[in-house]
C-alpha cells in the first residue's frame, strides 16, 4: 500500500499541475455543483490522482475524517482551500529538504 506521504504527493501534483487554480479543481470535482465535495467526489479526486483504486474509498474517507472541520462528512470550499494550502506548503518543505 502507498504511504500517506506518497498519496498526498500525488494529490498535490494533480491539483497544482492539473488545474490552473485550486478553485478550478474544486469546481471540477464538485459534480453535483452543491458547493461541497462528498466522499464519492473525493474518491474521484483520489482516483484521478492515480492512487490505487482499491484504496481510493478508504483514502477519501480518511480525508473527510481528518480535514472536515465542521464534521458534516463533506468538504466545502474553505475546508478544501485549507487542505490544498497545507499540501502545497508541505510540498515546498519537501522540495527545500531535497535541495539541501
- Please state the pTM of the whole predicted model: 0.84
Query: What are residue 36's DSSP bridge partners?
Result: 76
Q: Residue 50 is part of which domain span?
A: 4-99
Place of cell 491539483: 15
Q: How many CA atoms lie within 13 A of 11 on its CB side?
A: 28
The CATH number given to whatever domain includes residue 41 is: 1.10.238.10
Sign of the dihedral through C-alpha 22, 84, 61, 46: positive
pLDDT at 1 over 60: no
Number of domains in the chain: 1
Burial of 19 (0-12, 13-18, 19+ CB in 10 A): middle
Residue 87 clears pLDDT 60, i.e. is over it: yes
* pLDDT of 69 higher than 60: yes
Give residues with Cβ within 8 angstroms of 17, minimum separation 6: none
Residue found under cell 480525508 = 63
Amino acid at each position: 500500500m502507498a504511504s500517506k506521504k506518497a498519496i498526498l504527493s500525488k494529490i498535490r501534483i494533480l491539483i497544482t499541475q492539473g488545474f490552473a487554480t485550486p478553485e478550478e479543481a474544486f469546481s471540477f470535482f464538485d459534480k453535483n455543483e452543491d458547493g461541497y465535495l462528498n466522499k464519492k467526489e473525493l474518491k474521484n479526486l483520489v482516483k484521478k490522482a492515480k492512487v490505487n483504486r482499491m484504496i481510493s474509498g478508504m483514502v477519501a474517507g480518511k480525508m473527510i475524517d481528518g480535514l472536515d472541520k465542521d464534521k458534516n462528512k463533506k468538504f466545502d470550499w474553505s475546508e478544501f482551500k485549507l487542505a490544498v494550502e497545507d499540501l502545497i506548503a508541505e510540498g515546498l518543505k519537501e522540495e527545500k529538504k531535497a535541495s539541501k
